Structure 1
Amino acid sequence: MSIIELINEKGLRVVVMSRGAILQSVHFPDRDGHVRDLTLGFDNLEGYLADRFFMGQTVGRVCNRIRNGRFELNGRFYQLDINREPNHLHGGGKGCGLRDWEVARRSDTSVTFRVIMKNDEDGYPGDAKIDCTYTLNDMNQLIIEYTGICTEDSVLNLTNHTYWNLDGDETINEHLLEIRADSYLPTDATKVPTGEILSVEGTKFDFRSAKKLGTLLESDGIGRVDNDYILSDVKHQRSVNILLASEKSGIMMEMLTNYPIAHVYAGEYVTSTMGKGGKIYKPNSGIAIECQGYTNAVNEPKFPSIRVEKGEVFSREIVYGFGHLNTSEISGFTQKLK
């Protein structure tokens, strides 16, 4: 296994691992110059090998849930393993995030991990060669690029499953979140989208203006969101789709993507587990914002397809930009980073 550190000249430092093409840590100074680690995770490989919550992993071939682990492609039905009853989740028990990737390319500010996913191992149609490239630039951006090519018509929907906490508090309840999304996908009792597309208007899911994640808390103190948000503008990859910020640390993270969906998950099922520095992670300890295609698109004809043709190059990008709040509040997508 390789552990690789990427550093730019502006104070951003990232550590990634070839195991699962994992984003292990992101280090960035807060408004007072104190460097903070902005991600949940573990201090050693043993922690990641025992991890049940996909922390920092590159997940796929198909991220999120496939209803009953079953779908049809070209007239043939495929049955995948069920690793979260009654569904298939994040590529299953032999998904990308549980594999050892090779280092295909490396420089001081970039690394490409590569994995070959075999049909006879994970059950998806054909074999797939998948690359995950992490790159830092001097605008304090971390760029994740996914490319893939399959030997047969198949499906691909890759994402990163990092849990973010921008100030080190026990919870992210005081974090501010803004998402450029007018609609979301409601789910059934097993967390699979029902097929409906609903407006966020008048719901707890409305984050079109920045508000605290604590607004998601229910009577038991758990923030329950595990849903796809349909991003309103993904035509221009350099438009900001998502903002996450901590007024305590002064750190703000903006996200850009050419994926149509941001899946937001506040860690409802994260049971007490020891993480970095002996911290105990629980629900609301961090927030995962997974840019991706539509969840369970393989079984919902009205959702945009995640199908890739034999030999077609799959290519997607997620960009995380880090900076500081100019004021004590976010003023929406016009807020500028220092």
Structure 2
Amino acid sequence: MFDHETELEIGLASGMRVRIDPKGARLTSLVLPGADDPVEILIGPDPGETARSFHGATIGRYSNRIAGGRFTLDGEQFQLDTNENGNCLHGGGQGFDQRDWTVVAHWINAVALRLESRDGDQGFPGNLVAEASFALSDPATLTITYRARCDRACPVSLTSHGYFNLAGGGSIADHRLKINADQVLEIDSETLPVGAPRDVAGTRFDFRDSAPVPGPDGAGFDHNFCLRPGAMREIAALNDPASGRSMTMLSNQPGLQVYTSPSGDSFNAICLEPQAWPDAPNHPEYPSAILQPGKEYVNRIRLQFSG
């Protein structure tokens, strides 16, 4: 048996180390070897923060928002737990980030966890079994893989909610970001998507070429970028010119939620979440996020570091 109260550590001979808390299948540390000292690039919640924190957690059953916490599937309407302004955010008030995942394997460089979600959990239909694995490989790569099966059709979108700062701390205003997306979803005052995707050309959402992440005086981001179609492919790259560190992100997902996180006045982190499009169950024109019985949901996220 494993002690679920203890964080699990995995590592490489190079000095790259990752820690995972089974509570929420949560990344709590991601350390890269440095020229002088190791550098922690994963930003946690502010000290003393008491509100629910999504920092580093696994999000499910459905990442992002579902409007009104309602959707209709196969002619039946479902009412979900509404935990943000009357909407369902990140799977409801007791989403997967709040659960004790079972550790099924722990090796030197990998961890595998499992969670069972019963029919009606937070209002979602069907019994669902989710698996999360975290694996390190050379050179300096972290691969996160989510899998899920359900015995009834259900919206499913799992993701990892890590906050990154490649400098190890301070402002990320000088970080540069590249996203392989030609379109973005506009949002309303409740951060719900509005209408069809809009072209990023000529807007502040144009990261097709590497561009600076806006500083704290800017509007910031909490937007879904509509990724170019493909299987496992490069979707984004983050770079810190001062330290020379970079992070390349690959995934098989149709969307990338980008969230810039201010901390006081420091603007200290960016969150990059490969996932289904927000509120997709209520937008038949969006890529489908419905998992059918007998099918397997898979979200692969690969983070490759250099510098």
* TM-superposed deviation, 1:140: 1.2
Q: TM-score, normalised by structure 1?
A: 0.85
* TM-superposed deviation, 1:322: 0.7
- What is residue 18 of structure 1 aligned with on the other side? 22
- CA deviations on 1:81-138 (whole Å, 9 max, x unpaired) are 1111031100011100011101012211111111111223321011111001000011
Q: Distance in 2 between matches of 1:133 and 1:100?
A: 15
1:314 aligns with 2:300: no
- What is residue 225 of structure 1 aligned with on the other side? 221
CA contact (8 A) 2:41 2:169 kept: no
Q: Distance in 2 between matches of 1:155 and 1:169?
A: 36
Q: Distance in 2 between matches of 1:38 and 1:26?
A: 6
Runs (4+) of structure 1 moved beyond 6 Å? none
Relative to its length, the structure with more helix (as a share) is 1
Partner SS for 2:261: coil
Q: 2:278 aligns with which of 274, 283, 295?
A: 295
* TM-superposed deviation, 1:171: 1.8
CA contact (8 A) 1:222 1:284 kept: no
Q: Distance in 2 between matches of 1:256 and 1:205?
A: 19
1:48-59 aligned at under 5 Å gives the runs 50-59=50-59
Structure 2: which amino acid aligns with 1:38? I
Structure 2: which amino acid aligns with 1:135? A
- What is residue 97 of structure 2 aligned with on the other side? 97
Q: 2:240 aligns with which of 240, 246, 252?
A: 246
* TM-superposed deviation, 1:223: 4.1
- CA deviations on 1:153-184 (whole Å, 9 max, x unpaired) are 11110001111011134221111111111111
1:305 aligns with 2:299: no
CA contact (8 A) 1:181 1:232 kept: yes
Structure 2: which amino acid aligns with 1:231? L
Structure 2: which amino acid aligns with 1:26? L
- CA deviations on 1:267-307 (whole Å, 9 max, x unpaired) are 26x6x5xxxxxxxxx67221000000111100001001110
Structure 2: which amino acid aligns with 1:305? S
CA contact (8 A) 1:261 1:294 kept: yes
1:266 aligns with 2:249: no
Structure 1: any 5+ residue segments left out of the alignment? Answer: 273-281, 325-338
- What is residue 200 of structure 2 aligned with on the other side? 200
* TM-superposed deviation, 1:233: 4.4
Q: Distance in 2 between matches of 1:130 and 1:102?
A: 10
Q: Distance in 2 between matches of 1:161 and 1:253?
A: 15
CA contact (8 A) 2:43 2:269 kept: yes
Q: Distance in 1 between matches of 2:229 and 2:179?
A: 11
CA contact (8 A) 1:266 1:283 kept: no
Q: Distance in 2 between matches of 1:206 and 1:34?
A: 35
Q: Distance in 2 between matches of 1:185 and 1:313?
A: 27
- What is residue 115 of structure 2 aligned with on the other side? 115
CA change 1:51–1:41 in 2 (3 A) is farther
Structure 2: any 5+ residue segments left out of the alignment? Answer: none
* TM-superposed deviation, 1:43: 9.8
* TM-superposed deviation, 1:33: 3.5
1:56-67 aligned at under 5 Å gives the runs 56-67=56-67
Give the number of equivalent residue pairs: 303
- CA deviations on 1:42-85 (whole Å, 9 max, x unpaired) are 599xx79x443410010010000001111011111111111110
Structure 2: which amino acid aligns with 1:297? A
Partner SS for 1:240: strand
CA change 1:121–1:240 in 2 (3 A) is closer
CA contact (8 A) 1:142 1:320 kept: yes
Q: TM-score, normalised by structure 2?
A: 0.93
